[in-house]
Amino acid sequence: MKNFRFLILILFLLFADKAFAELTVDANHSHIKIDFFYHGSIVTISGQSDQNADLIIKVSSPEGHQGFKKKGKAAGFLWMNKGELNFEHAPNLYFLHSTKRLEEILSPEEADANTIGYSALGNHIKITPVSDENEKTKWFEEFVKFKESSRLYANSSGNISLTQKNSGQDFSIKFDWPYEAPHGDYIVTVYAAQNGRIIEQAETNVSVEQAGLVKALADMARDNGALYGLISIAIALGAGFGVGLVFRKGGGAH
């Protein structure tokens, strides 16, 4: 009897799945080139989903280690760096946009399981050294503040525009891509949620690459430090002398 019910449930789910418009996602600007005049970009994420689904769009860089200096009070009243703080499994960039407030569309467990939202991210990131949960929360909040001030973390609800169609809905969101985000690959994931659970997800990529002079200089600074240093010094000496000479001529004229 139990097995029979289970079978029906599966059949129902399979059938129900067919009824959904398939979730798709696309980024208009999947290759961002950082050239000499780069000052950030604008990215539009769009796609289609089932009509009834609430949507969550997450853009993040691969997780990794990030080191910080923490400020604290020395001798009771002087603010200075007091030791280091390490964040593990922390993405450098994390944007989260949803059609409604996250609490309304996703259960906390489901959010945690997919690292959706600051609260889930806070549970996911490991911070050392901290003595207790309160301290961890405090430093995670500081971490988010730091990241938001460099425009690398952002969080919004209600900014995804939706257009209803017979077969489903078109969604799209347009946002500034910050120049503070370094070159690398970024993952865009769209989650469709219903009744507090994720029912479908789709993924695409945004890759940011250095190009031209920026790439040449960055590569040289990294791979050929000695030559890079000597050229930097030579240019500085040349510029100093050059300006000195120009001024002497200018000075002699009057």
Partner 1 sequence: MYLYLPVALTSIHVLIPIGLGLVVGLLSGLFGVGGGFLMTPLLIMLGIPATVAAATDSNQIVAASTSGTYAHWKVGNVDFKMGLYLLAGGFLGGLVGVQAIKVLRAMGNADFVIKMTYVLMLGIVGTYMFIESLSIMKKKPTEEIKTDNENKIGIFLKRIPMQTRFEKSGVTHSALVPIVLGGFVGILAAIMGVGGGFLMVPVMVYILRMPMHVVVGTSLFQILFTCIEVTFLQAYTNHNVDFILAVLLLLGSTLGAQVGVVFGRRLKAEQLKILLACIVLAVTVKIIFELTLSPSILLAQAGGH
Is 237 one of the binding residues for partner 1 (CB under 8 A)?
Answer: yes
Q: Is 74 in the site for partner 1 (CB under 8 A)?
A: yes
User: Rule CB under 8 A: which of 26-45 touch partner 1?
Assistant: 34-40
Strands 54-60 vs 184-194: parallel, antiparallel or unpaired: antiparallel
d(CA 17, CA 247): 77
- Alpha-carbon distance 86 to 126, whole Å? 8
What is the distance of C-alpha 3 from the center of its chain? Answer: 44
* Pairwise CA distance, residues 215 & 35, whole Å: 8
- Give which of 64, 157, 29 is closest to 104, Cα–Cα: 157
Under the binding rule (CB under 8 A), the answer on residue 176 touching partner 1 is: no
Determine the interface stretch with partner 1 among 13-21, 116-124, 159-167, 245-253 (rule: CB under 8 A): 245-253
Which of 28, 52, 81, 161 touches partner 1 (CB under 8 A)?
81
Structural contact between residues 20 and 200, judged by C-beta atoms closer than 8 angstroms: yes
Does residue 249 belong to the site contacting partner 1 (CB under 8 A)? no
Shortest distance in whole angstroms from residue 163 CB to partner 1: 34
Site string for partner 1, 110-149 (x = CB under 8 A): -----------------------------x--xx-xx--x
Contact between 200 and 192 (Cβ < 8 Å): yes
Query: What's the CA gap between 95 and 224, in Å, rounded?
Result: 35
Nearer to partner 1, 18 or 39 (CB): 39
Q: Which of residues 84-103 bind partner 1 (CB under 8 A)?
A: 84-85
Distance CA 196, CA 109 (A): 9
Residue 209 lies near partner 1 (rule: CB under 8 A):
no
Q: Which of 130, 154, 187, 217 binds partner 1 (CB under 8 A)?
A: 217
b/e per residue, 90-127, with b = 16+ CB within 10 A?
bbbbbbbbbbeebeebbeeebbbebbbbbebbbebbeb
Token representation of residue 174: 């347009």
* Residue with Cβ nearer partner 1 (7 or 233): 233
Given a contact cutoff of 8 angstroms between Cβ atoms, the answer to whether 40 and 176 are in contact is yes
Is residue 206 within 8 Å of residue 27, measured between CB atoms? yes
* Position 252 contacts partner 1 (CB under 8 A): no
Nearer to partner 1, 34 or 55 (CB): 34
* Segment lying near partner 1 (by CB under 8 A), choices 3-11, 12-20, 93-101, 229-237: 229-237
Residues forming the site for partner 1 (CB under 8 A): 34-40, 67-72, 74-75, 77-82, 84-85, 139, 142-143, 145-146, 149-150, 179-180, 182-183, 210, 213-215, 217-218, 221-222, 225-226, 228-233, 235-237, 239-245, 247-248
